[in-house]
């Protein structure tokens, strides 16, 4: 069977293709639309999956969507009958339900010259999340948990996975939500955009959890693991909250009530100065999240007594908390796939649909994230040839068909000289992290590298850290862990005696967001890092996403455009190397 899974009509719209029980392609819609967190119907991502595998819509047997409008029917009815929600909120939910049931009509509009002859299957939101983590994990048996804002009237679900099947044991229903807590508090800190929660994680190490008592007045966990919000401080359960998912960047209105500023003392204006109060509030928010999450996990382990855990949902992107699970719970083996948030639900929906039809391979494990668009050396050369005038005007020099070993040697030398390198290779990553195929690279040893990157390219808040990509066999020498972290989804403490050697990737609290790199899964990136290691004794590179306040680049043209409009020093695409004048060496 050929099954397309989608996350649609929501932030981070995405699509994947599962063929004969195995994932073959996956991409987020934002990479093609060039709008961060693009929300709507992922027609471009579907088109990519089809073209990448030489298919047309007629070849697809099923479209699976990670939403089931019929889920939690009795819970919804009980809430309406309780009189605790407004008529406007009910009408908003009904409009959303109608839209999500119209997949066939969306397909017909997007692919007017093709005919979809298959069926549309709906998969409950959190089941899709859980499947997207556990079913592609390396574990035969594992506890499974999904935590996010809301999906199909629930904000969390957990249970047990065995032999690739999932038994959901418990859910947290609307209006209580750990994800809503974090999102509302992110807004109160002056970060109003959809997806800004990672800024709170970056800010938290600069503060102390001085407001723990206040957080405990807002958020609690019951003895059975149920999240409970003090609803006096929130608005999402009373009135429509202004979610906009219509073919653009997601928009979310304020989730907190006027009572919240009275409790925490202030709501920061977006763009306003960051003061110690905000640092301490960020740390208190992260602390409250971690305590609640760990309490849920410890209760889960009591029920299952296994060492394996698979995590999904938007809260699965909290890499700081993920890195502490082995310290705060009995779980030793933790799997978080590269698109833990709603985009990943596309894979979960496809997996569940495949299992319903006995067409999922139980041996498939997602060991890498390189499922997106890939471009040949010839297409890269065509891009460079078409832009020769612009390249010359920018005083840049192009060299083509270079041996990869030559590239490794020269790029590592450039990095040692303090230069910033754009690195474009192979298939685009699935998920929000650049993992060595659409990356900007720097020397982690330089104390000024963070400032160089922020000044030359990223133009972002100075408190946000950059991540290290580390050769897998050297992790334990540099980190207080020896875990496999191929998707950069966990933050660990760097060995104290090593922190001074790599200041550009060491956060203020001594931590680093780890990515482990193996030759098996990314030979070019591995060999580049290894070349740098041979010359410096440091087995890692600073890695950040290849973008400038936009989605990560997808095509060679986007990489070249980003290079030309920033002050990047070197661009490598396939076997082609573009250097600023004075940076080029003779072949």
Burial 308-317 (b: 16+ CB within 10 A, else e): bbbbbbbbbb
Q: How far apart are CA 546 and CA 554, in angstroms?
A: 9
Q: Please tell me the predicted confidence (pLDDT) of residue 250.
A: 85
Q: How far apart are CA 343 and CA 557, in angstroms?
A: 25
Through-space distance between the first and last CA atoms of the chain, rounded to whole angstroms: 49
pTM, rounded to two decimals:
0.94
Q: Please tell me the predicted confidence (pLDDT) of residue 74.
A: 74
Give the three-class secondary structure for 409.
helix
Chain Cα centroid distance, residue 563: 24
The closest of 506, 500, 499, 471 to 485, measured between CA atoms, is 471
3-state percent breakdown (helix, strand, coil) of the chain, nearest 5 = 40, 20, 40
Strands (E), 278-404: 308-312, 333-336, 396-399
Residue 487 burial (CB count, 10 A) = 25
Q: Please tell me the predicted confidence (pLDDT) of residue 80.
A: 66
CATH topology of domain 377-580: DHBP synthase (3.90.870)
Q: Please tell me the predicted confidence (pLDDT) of residue 455.
A: 79
- Give 82's contacts (C-beta < 8 A, 6+ positions apart): none
Q: Please tell me the predicted confidence (pLDDT) of residue 83.
A: 65
Q: Please tell me the predicted confidence (pLDDT) of residue 271.
A: 85
Q: How far apart are CA 372 and CA 425, in angstroms?
A: 11
Q: How far apart are CA 167 and CA 284, in angstroms?
A: 34
Q: Please tell me the predicted confidence (pLDDT) of residue 132.
A: 98
Residues of the chain whose pLDDT is less than 70? 76-77, 79-101, 240-246, 458, 460, 582-587
* Bridging pattern class, strands 2-7 and 62-65: parallel
Q: Please tell me the predicted confidence (pLDDT) of residue 355.
A: 97
Domain locations in the chain?
2-125+347-356, 131-334, 377-580
Q: Please tell me the predicted confidence (pLDDT) of residue 228.
A: 98
Instruction: Decide whether 131-334 matches 377-580 in CATH topology.
Output: no
Q: Please tell me the predicted confidence (pLDDT) of residue 85.
A: 65
The dotted CATH code for 131-334 is 3.30.420.40
Q: How far apart are CA 191 and CA 12, in angstroms?
A: 18
The CATH superfamily label for domain 2-125+347-356 reads ATPase, nucleotide binding domain (3.30.420.40)
Q: In what order do the strands lie in the sheet with 576-580?
A: 396-399, 576-580, 570-573, 421-424, 438-442, 540-545, 467-471, 511-517, 490-493
Q: How far apart are CA 100 and CA 110, in angstroms?
A: 15
Residue 224 burial (CB count, 10 A) = 8
**DSSP H or E segment with residue 278:** helix 276-304
Tokens of 250: 């997601």
Q: How far apart are CA 443 and CA 413, in angstroms?
A: 10
Q: Please tell me the predicted confidence (pLDDT) of residue 84.
A: 64
Q: Please tell me the predicted confidence (pLDDT) of residue 549.
A: 86
Q: How far apart are CA 250 and CA 244, in angstroms?
A: 5
**Among positive and negative, which fits the CA dihedral 128, 129, 132, 134?**
negative
């Amino acid at each position: 069977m050929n099954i397309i899974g989608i996350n649609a009509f929501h932030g981070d719209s995405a699509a994947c293709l599962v063929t004969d029980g195995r994932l073959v392609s996956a991409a987020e819609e934002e990479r093609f639309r060039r709008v961060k967190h693009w929300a709507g119907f992922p027609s471009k991502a579907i088109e990519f999956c089809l073209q990448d595998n030489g298919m047309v819509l007629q070849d697809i047997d099923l479209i699976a969507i990670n939403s089931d409008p019929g889920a939690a029917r009795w819970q919804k009815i009980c809430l309406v009958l309780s009189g605790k929600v407004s008529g406007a909120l009910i009408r908003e939910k009904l409009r959303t339900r109608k839209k999500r049931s119209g997949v066939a009509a969306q397909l017909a509009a997007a692919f007017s010259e093709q005919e979809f002859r298959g069926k549309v299957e709906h998969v409950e939101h959190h089941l899709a999340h859980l499947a997207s983590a556990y079913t592609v994990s390396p574990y035969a048996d594992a506890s499974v948990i999904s935590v996010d804002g809301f999906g199909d009237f629930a904000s969390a679900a957990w249970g047990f996975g065995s032999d690739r099947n999932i038994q959901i044991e418990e859910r947290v229903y609307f209006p209580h939500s750990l994800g809503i807590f974090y999102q509302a508090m992110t807004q109160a800190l002056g970060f109003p955009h959809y997806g800004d929660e990672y800024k709170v994680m970056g800010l938290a190490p600069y503060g102390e959890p001085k407001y723990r008592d206040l957080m405990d007045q807002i958020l609690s966990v019951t003895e059975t693991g149920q999240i409970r919000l003090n609803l006096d401080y929130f608005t999402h359960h009373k009135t429509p909250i202004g979610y906009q998912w219509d073919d653009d960047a997601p928009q979310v209105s304020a989730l907190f009530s006027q009572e919240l500023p009275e409790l925490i003392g202030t709501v920061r204006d977006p763009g306003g100065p960051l003061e110690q109060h905000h640092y301490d509030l960020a740390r208190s928010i992260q602390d409250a999240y971690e305590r609640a999450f760990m309490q849920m996990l410890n209760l889960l382990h009591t029920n299952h007594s296994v060492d394996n855990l698979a995590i999904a949902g938007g809260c699965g992107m909290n890499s700081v908390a993920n890195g502490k699970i082995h310290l705060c719970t009995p779980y030793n083996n933790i799997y978080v796939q590269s698109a833990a948030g709603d985009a990943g639900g596309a894979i979960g929906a496809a997996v569940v649909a495949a299992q319903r039809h006995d067409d999922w391979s139980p041996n498939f494990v997602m060991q890498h994230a390189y499922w997106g668009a890939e471009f040949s050396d010839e297409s890269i050369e065509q891009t460079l040839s078409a832009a020769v005038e612009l390249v010359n005007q920018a005083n840049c020099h192009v060299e083509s068909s270079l041996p990869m070993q030559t590239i490794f040697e020269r790029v590592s030398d450039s990095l040692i000289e303090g230069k910033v390198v754009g690195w474009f290779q192979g298939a685009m990553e699935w998920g929000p992290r650049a993992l060595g195929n659409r990356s900007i690279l720097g020397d982690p040893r330089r104390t000024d590298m963070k400032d160089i990157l922020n000044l030359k390219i990223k133009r972002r808040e100075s408190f946000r850290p950059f991540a290290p990509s580390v050769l897998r066999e050297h992790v334990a020498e540099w980190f207080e862990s020896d875990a496999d972290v191929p998707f950069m989804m966990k933050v660990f403490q760097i060995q104290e005696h090593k922190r001074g050697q790599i200041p550009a990737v060491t956060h203020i609290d001594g931590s680093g967001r780890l990515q482990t790199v193996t030759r098996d899964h990314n030979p070019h990136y591995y060999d580049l890092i290894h070349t740098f290691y041979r010359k410096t004794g440091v087995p890692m590179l600073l890695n950040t996403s290849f973008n400038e306040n936009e989605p990560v680049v997808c095509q060679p043209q986007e990489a070249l455009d980003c290079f030309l409009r920033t002050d990047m020093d070197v661009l490598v695409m396939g076997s082609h190397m573009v250097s600023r004048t004075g940076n080029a060496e003779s072949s």
